[in-house]
Structure 1
Amino acid sequence: MASAVQTVCGQAYGAKKYAAMGIICQRAIVLHIGASVILTFLYWYSDTVLQAIGQSASIAEQGQVFARGLIPQLYAFAISCPMQRFLQAQNIVNPLAYISVGVFLLHILLSWLAVDVLGYGLLGASLTLSLSWWILTILNGLYIVLSPSCKETWTGLSTKALKGIWPYFKITAASAVMLCLEIWYNQGLVLISGLLPNAAIALDSISICMNYWNWDINFVLGFSAAASVRVSNELGAGHPKLTKFSVIVVNATSIFISTVFTAIVIICRSLLIKAFSTDAEVIQAGSSLIPLLAISIFLNGIQPILSGVAIGSGWQHIVAYVNLTTYYIIGLPIGCVLGFKIGLGVEGIWWGMVVGVLLQTITLIILTARTNWDLEVINPQ
């Protein structure tokens, strides 16, 4: 949902409509808090939900304990995420980084105290996460209110945030659908792998590889955010040529870095699996997934960047349809057929993901390449 703030605030900043940015941020927070109220019920009754999707009663029970401890975090997200996008849209990133590093170090200490010293287990771990996110939220809020950097874009609380909710809700909903379809697809692969024969080996191997994939995607998401901010700023400022140039530069940089990461994965291969497991079967199964992991990491150098371009341009509704088609209508069935019917197991499931991401990437490349940026400047979101 917060990616809508990147679109609207980014374009408003480019157009020098600074006062509107604070209103947009507040409007987003109102909608996010409403969504958090709904999600609270899902978290509170997560035991029932987890059992309904096939998890054992013991796992579902522990999952519910952890989820309930994360409920305060939902509301921290609701406030913090719009504020972060509000600051990013103004190219204020260093303070966010410093605050995040500080809270991260504090979080490590608090987690150690809650879990190891006080012995509060899963509930302690989740409540610590919630506390850390609230500290991060408060610090970000204080920076916005007190920093001279935001004196033009933050003019205080206003009832104007309650006006124009519906038009903004539509782009927010499209943003949520776009990103949720993508995130759920990747996370769902792990759940589906648990239904395979010899599920323990399958889950161990895919979890290790997905862990490396997550490290890479978190790195690349920084480029995605940069692409989103730069594109939205230039569109708002009415600079079509600079917008196009920004798209080319950020994609070229990301592809180069992802190529290096891909080479590292291929060269290290089994060492990456051995770093997490000494079981011979897990090492063998994980090593067989390394080529697919390498392909996925290379695609990470293109797909998230183009998604960032889409967010900056306000194309979330289009990409939502693309994600639904390529991931769920094409990629997921292919993965299930290869994994369960053909007997390729976890490799087949991952191949389905690769096919889905590849098709999505090709579609986004075509969409971006055919874009008339002069028209985008005339009709920004």
Structure 2
Amino acid sequence: MTSSGGAEAAKSPLLERNAAAAEGWLNKVIDVEEAKDQIFFALPLILTNVAYYFIPLVSVMFAGHLGELELAGSNLANSWAAVTGFALMVGLSGALETLCGQGFGAKMYRMLGIYLQASCIITLIFTIAVSVLWWYSDIVLTLLHQEPQIAKAAGLYLKYLIPGLFAYGILQNILRFLQTQSVIIPLVVCSLVPLALHVGIAYALVHWTTLEYKGAPLAASISLWISVLMLGLYVLKAKKFEETWEGFSSESLSHTFTNLKIALPSAAMVCLEYWAFEILVLLAGLMPNSEITTSLVAMCVNTEAISYMIAYGLSAAASTRVSNELGAGNPNRARRAMAVTLKLTILLALCVVLALFFGHNLWASLFSDSPVIINAFATMTPLLVLSILCDFVQGILSGVARGCGWQHLAVYINLGTYYLIGMPIAALLGFKFKLHAKGLWIGLICGLTVQMIGLLLLTKFTKWTRIEFSHDSAHKILEEDV
């Protein structure tokens, strides 16, 4: 017993030294504490993002079971809603990632509520404009050479989704307001609960009322408003927001223009990227065997979108950490936080692409039972792996750009890489060299790669900035060499 105890005592310092050495080596590779914080921050945001993605999707599923016309109409409406409305709302709210994030870091807490109100005013104006477009979407879609019956069904669906657009715009602003304060668990609750309720609401409106097809989009609108009310009540009642939300103020009107100068480039960043993927689907429809090619490209686009939801959590973490540190006047810590996020992203991306590489047939079978399409998807998988890797990295760098307030620079990168490089190469390889779906996706990879490089150069050579708030609530951008 004594000799055994002595041996253990002799070994314990060695074990402690080994553990310390291992921990020291790991800290050299990555800041462990920073990585833990970002992972715990990102995971709830991933769940939140997925929940809000599925609310309109569940409505499409219920509508699709009513018949082929309803399936086609609801899918077309959902795509049109994402392209013209939902993506725009996400982009406009990106201004708060800069303003609220840096304001919170600078401890100018009162300004967060002011900027939230200013952003909601901007969102309301754009939502009214998009609502007019949605109201006449059947005419617009017919002019875009969609089947008249399907266009009419999509137009009807969108009319009942208009209330949901108003809710979605406000929702995105509240999400950014909370995210920049590192308040994330309530976001999960206020997204998963409405999603669970949504299934019941959609079923009831579609099958238990005379609304039927119209009940599906109306259910999505109701569920999104439930989420807005839950989050709104939380902000109003929780004591932790006493400093950041002091009630409605007319002062927000004076900050609307400042917010708009960041919101418009931010919206352009998101929309330009989103539209590029939709253009690929449209180009696929112009090719020989368009049904197979369109289905294949649409599957790849959906796979990329679902994968990006995972990266979005870390992108939001990067944006929040960078904006908070810059607001606090710590640009070097902001850079370190970005470096940690990039390392985590690469690890996460490798896990995703490995799962896709080995399970592509199983994944493809969820979309289609056709052996032709499943085999074609297998040939696309190596290209899809490359695009996902690039998309993960550029997603984090885009988050850094939002945190720093570089949206006006990033929008030029997105415009040039997707529309002057990616789409022309896609069209050339797809049509001229007859590579079809592979050619389209290679063009996209070219665009993503150059975009990633452009954003890397932006973070490397652009002067990092912070927002400096004065006592009269005005602010200006101060440049700091890093």
Normalising by the residue count of structure 1, what TM-score does the alignment of the two structures yield? 0.96
Matched, 1:53 2:163: no
Shift of 1:210: 2.2
Shift of 1:141: 0.6
| Aligned pairs (5 A) from 1:141-180 | 141-180=232-271
In 1: Cα distance, 2:431 partner to 2:147 partner: 21
In 2: Cα distance, 1:199 partner to 1:124 partner: 32
In 1: Cα distance, 2:449 partner to 2:204 partner: 44
Q: Secondary structure at the match of 1:2?
A: helix
Which residue of 95, 110, 115 corresponds with 2:201?
Answer: 110
In 2: Cα distance, 1:286 partner to 1:118 partner: 40
CA contact (8 A) 1:115 1:124 kept: yes
Partner of 2:454: 363
CA contact (8 A) 1:224 1:308 kept: yes
AA in 2 matched with 1:6: E
CA contact (8 A) 1:24 1:161 kept: yes
Q: Do the aligned partners of residues 166 and 153 (structure 1) sit closer, same or farther apart at CA in structure 2, a change above 3 Å counting?
A: same
In 1: Cα distance, 2:152 partner to 2:467 partner: 52
In 2: Cα distance, 1:343 partner to 1:122 partner: 40
Matched, 1:201 2:320: no
Shift of 1:153: 0.2
CA contact (8 A) 2:106 2:327 kept: yes
Partner of 2:393: 302
Q: Which runs of 5 or more residues in structure 2 are unaligned? A: 1-91, 469-476
Q: Do the aligned partners of residues 94 and 362 (structure 1) sit closer, same or farther apart at CA in structure 2, a change above 3 Å counting?
A: same
Partner of 2:105: 14
Q: Do the aligned partners of residues 380 and 52 (structure 1) sit closer, same or farther apart at CA in structure 2, a change above 3 Å counting?
A: farther
Q: Secondary structure at the match of 1:156?
A: coil
Matched, 1:135 2:242: no
Deviations 1:313-360 (A, max 9, x none): 000011111111000111111111111221111221111111111110
- Which deviates more from structure 2 when the two are superposed, residues 115-124 or residues 38-47? 115-124
Matched, 1:190 2:281: yes
Which residue of 435, 442, 467 corresponds with 1:344?
Answer: 435
- Which deviates more from structure 2 when the two are superposed, residues 295-304 or residues 266-275? 266-275
CA contact (8 A) 1:202 1:285 kept: no
AA in 2 matched with 1:324: L
Partner of 2:175: 84
Which residue of 335, 343, 359 corresponds with 1:252?
Answer: 343
Matched, 1:328 2:419: yes
Q: What percentage of aligned pairs have identical amino acids?
A: 37
In 1: Cα distance, 2:315 partner to 2:295 partner: 29
Q: Do the aligned partners of residues 122 and 350 (structure 1) sit closer, same or farther apart at CA in structure 2, a change above 3 Å counting?
A: farther
Partner of 2:93: 2
CA contact (8 A) 2:304 2:388 kept: yes
- Which deviates more from structure 2 when the two are superposed, residues 202-211 or residues 354-363? 202-211
Shift of 1:203: 1.9
AA in 1 matched with 2:299: I
Q: Secondary structure at the match of 2:225?
A: helix
In 2: Cα distance, 1:2 partner to 1:156 partner: 20
Shift of 1:51: 2.2
Which residue of 202, 218, 239 corresponds with 2:330?
Answer: 239
Deviations 1:61-83 (A, max 9, x none): 12112211211012112222111
Q: Do the aligned partners of residues 11 and 75 (structure 1) sit closer, same or farther apart at CA in structure 2, a change above 3 Å counting?
A: same
In 2: Cα distance, 1:192 partner to 1:119 partner: 39
Shift of 1:187: 2.2
Shift of 1:165: 2.1
Partner of 2:372: 281
Q: Do the aligned partners of residues 377 and 22 (structure 1) sit closer, same or farther apart at CA in structure 2, a change above 3 Å counting?
A: closer
CA contact (8 A) 2:356 2:381 kept: yes
In 2: Cα distance, 1:115 partner to 1:334 partner: 44
AA in 1 matched with 2:245: W
Q: Do the aligned partners of residues 305 and 41 (structure 1) sit closer, same or farther apart at CA in structure 2, a change above 3 Å counting?
A: same
- Which deviates more from structure 2 when the two are superposed, residues 294-303 or residues 357-366? 294-303
Q: Do the aligned partners of residues 326 and 140 (structure 1) sit closer, same or farther apart at CA in structure 2, a change above 3 Å counting?
A: same
Query: Aligned-residue CA RMSD in angstroms?
Result: 1.7
CA contact (8 A) 1:6 1:232 kept: yes
AA in 1 matched with 2:169: A
CA contact (8 A) 1:178 1:319 kept: yes
Larger Rg: 2
Partner of 1:220: 311
Partner of 2:49: none
Deviations 1:228-268 (A, max 9, x none): 11110000000112101100001110111101111111112
Matched, 1:62 2:125: no
Shift of 1:44: 0.6
Shift of 1:196: 1.7
In 2: Cα distance, 1:300 partner to 1:352 partner: 14
In 1: Cα distance, 2:286 partner to 2:146 partner: 10
Q: Which runs of 5 or more residues in structure 1 are unaligned? A: none
In 2: Cα distance, 1:6 partner to 1:193 partner: 35
Matched, 1:292 2:391: no
CA contact (8 A) 2:321 2:337 kept: yes
AA in 2 matched with 1:151: E
CA contact (8 A) 2:360 2:377 kept: no
